[in-house]
Amino acid sequence: MHDFYNAYWWIFLIRGIFALILGILAIGWPGATFATLIVFFGAYLFIGGLFAIVGAIAARKTNENWSIFLFSGLLGVILGFLTFYNPFATGAALIYLVAFWAMLAGLFELIIAIRLRKMITGEGWYIAGGLLTIIFGLLLVANPVAAAVTLTWVFGIYAVITGIMLVSLSFRLRSGRR
C-alpha cells in the first residue's frame, strides 16, 4: 500500500494546489458573490472526486480499501454536479446546516455545563460559551448574507490549510519519507 501512495504522490499535489488557489480566492475576494464561491466549492468537490476515483481505480489491485476511495470520489462528483446544477440551493443549505449545527452544539454545551456544575467550579464560562454558540447559529439564520461572507472566509482559511497539508504530504510521499 505504501508503494501506491508514493507512486501517485502527484494526485495529492494537484489537489493541494487547487485547494490553495481556491482558498486564496475565497479570502482575497470576499466581495465576490456567494454563488460564485459555491460554484468554486462545487468544482473542488467535483475535481477532488475525479482524482479520488482515478486513485481508487489505480489502487484496486494493491489496496484493499480502494472501494472507500471510490465511494468518496463518486460522492464528490455527485455533490459537485448538484452544486453546479443549483448553486443557490447549495449555498442556502450550507448556511442553514452550519446554523443548525451551531445551535445544536450550543445546546449540548449548556446541558453539559449544567450537569458539570456539581463537579466543577466556573461552569458559568461553559454556559456562556454554549449561549454564544447558539446566538451565532441564530445570527447565521437571521442574516444569511453576512453568514455567506463569514462562511466564505472560514472556507478559504480551511482550503489554504488543507492545501498546504496536501502539498506537504505530496512532497513527503514523493521522497519516500514517512
Please state the domain extents for the chain: 1-176
How far apart are alpha carbons 13 and 7 in whole angstroms?
12
pLDDT of residue 163: 93
- Three-class secondary structure of residue 30 per DSSP: coil
Q: How confident is the model at residue 90 (pLDDT cuts 50, 70, 90)?
A: confident
The sign of the torsion formed by the CA atoms of 156, 76, 3, 66 equals positive
pLDDT of residue 104: 95
Q: How confident is the model at residue 2 (pLDDT cuts 50, 70, 90)?
A: low
Question: How confident is the model over 58-70, as pLDDT tens digits?
Answer: 888 887 888 888 9
Q: How far is CA 148 from the centre of its chain?
A: 15
How far apart are alpha carbons 110 and 103 in whole angstroms?
11
The 10 Å CB-count burial string (b at 16+, else e) for 27-49 is beeeeeebeebbbbbbebbbbbb
Report the amino acid identity of residue 145. Answer: V
